């Protein structure tokens, strides 16, 4: 069971630390203070994860069991790699038998059992390279992709939703029957067309916000479970052509 972190000194660090003013802007100082005092950050270091985001995936899995039985996993927007760490463990992926492929335009340190592509997922070659990397059909497509923020909430929302939509169509193209898709989105509404497409292709589509996601954050996760298979998609296309 994934338990929420308890404030304390399990890592030897006291919570409630302040950052000296110095030359830092007030906003930067507040971000650093929040980060070093975040119990999830401390727990990630204690348990060997590269980022606190690991607990978002673990908490979602605890309730929805999307990692159970996964044999191959694709991780989109993977840097710094905490979701890929979990994926490699649950699939028993090794450097000799790669079962996890990760992609990010940011540089990412190597991980045992993970084939890393430093490439923009929007690159036309990305889908093919990811499928070649894992050498088979994925059971789970993860996406923690988010567009670089501009400070304009509506623009940021639209840009990240575009990434979510592209990831969703990729998942429908590559997942094996019964597979799952999990992607970051933002509060503010998921486009109706995207939800309809997912509901047509998956048996259950829901929004989730794990406890590890900061309360003040507008991020949520879109979870589509139990892919119906390509036949469902083809049937939907045919129905649309006949309309």
The owner of tokens 């991980």 is 111
Q: What is the pLDDT, as a whole number, of residue 242?
A: 47
Cβ atoms of residues 134 and 172 within 8 Å: no
* Residues in contact with 123: Cβ distance below 8 Å, sequence separation at least 6, in sequence order: none
Q: What angle do CA 97, 100, 101 make, to 5 degrees?
A: 115
Residue 112: band (very low, low, confident or very high) from pLDDT cuts 50, 70, 90 = very high
Q: How sure is the predictor about 7, in pLDDT bands with cuts at 50, 70 and 90?
A: very low
pLDDT greater at residue 196 or residue 23:
196
Widest Cα–Cα separation across the chain: 67
Instruction: Report the pLDDT value the prediction gives residue 21, as an integer from 0 to 100.
Output: 52
Give the tens place of pLDDT for each residue, 92-101.
Answer: 999 999 999 9
Radius of gyration of the chain (CA): 19
**Residue 2 — very low, low, confident or very high, per pLDDT cuts 50/70/90?**
low
**pLDDT tens-digit readout, 140-171:** 999 999 877 777 777 777 888 899 999 999 99
Q: Is 81 annotated as a binding residue?
A: yes
User: Does the 51-242 domain belong in CATH 3.10.20.440?
Assistant: no
Active-site residue 231, yes or no? Answer: no
Could you give the CA distance from residue 18 to residue 20 in angstroms, rounded to a whole number?
6
pLDDT, tens digit (0-9, with 9 covering 90-100), for 75-94: 999 999 999 999 999 999 99
DSSP the chain: --PPP-SS-TTS--SS-----TT--HHHHHHHHHHHT-HHHHHHHHHT-SSTTHHHHHHHHHHH--STT---EEEES-TT-HHHHHHHHHHT--SSS--EEEEESS-----TTEEEEES-TTSTTHHHHHHHHHTS--SEEEE---PPP-S-HHHHHHHHHHHHHHHHHHHHHHPPTT-EEEEEEESS---HHHHHHHHHHEEEEEEE--TTS-TT--EEEEEEEEE--HHHHHHHHHHHHH-
Residue 100 β-bridge partners: 73, 114
The answer to whether 83 is a known ligand-binding residue is yes
Look at residue 198 and tell me whether its pLDDT is greater than 90. yes
For the cut 60, the answer to whether the pLDDT of residue 116 exceeds it is yes
- Give the residue extent of every domain in the chain: 18-48, 51-242
The verdict on whether residue 156 carries a ligand-binding annotation is: no
Q: State the pTM of this model.
A: 0.79
Q: Over the chain, what is the mean pLDDT?
A: 82
The single residue of 68, 89, 184, 228 carrying the catalytic annotation is 184
Does 38 belong to an annotated binding site? no
Q: Which residue has the higher pLDDT, 217 or 64?
A: 64
């Amino acid at each position: 069971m994934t338990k929420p972190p308890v404030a304390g000194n399990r890592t030897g660090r006291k919570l409630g630390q302040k950052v000296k003013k110095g030359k830092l802007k007030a906003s930067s100082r507040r971000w650093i203070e929040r980060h070093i005092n975040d119990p999830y950050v401390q727990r990630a270091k204690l348990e060997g994860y590269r980022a606190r985001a690991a607990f978002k995936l673990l908490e979602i899995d605890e309730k929805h069991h999307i990692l159970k039985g996964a044999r191959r996993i694709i991780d989109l927007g993977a840097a710094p790699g905490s979701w890929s760490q979990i994926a490699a463990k649950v699939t028993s992926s090794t450097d000799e038998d790669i079962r996890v492929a990760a992609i990010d335009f940011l540089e990412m340190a190597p991980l045992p059992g993970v084939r890393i592509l430093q490439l923009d997922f929007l690159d036309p070659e990305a889908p093919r390279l990811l499928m070649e990397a894992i050498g088979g059909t994925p059971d789970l497509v993860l996406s923690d992709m988010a567009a670089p923020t501009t400070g304009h909430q509506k623009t940021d929302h639209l840009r990240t939703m575009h990434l979510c939509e592209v990831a969703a169509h990729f998942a429908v193209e590559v997942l094996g029957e019964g597979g799952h898709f999990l992607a970051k989105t933002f509060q503010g509404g998921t486009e109706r067309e995207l939800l309809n497409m997912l509901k047509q292709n998956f048996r259950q589509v829901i929004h989730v916000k794990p406890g590890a996601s900061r309360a003040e954050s507008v991020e949520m996760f879109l979870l589509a479970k139990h892919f119906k298979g390509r036949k469902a998609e083809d049937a939907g296309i045919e129905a649309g052509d006949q309309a």
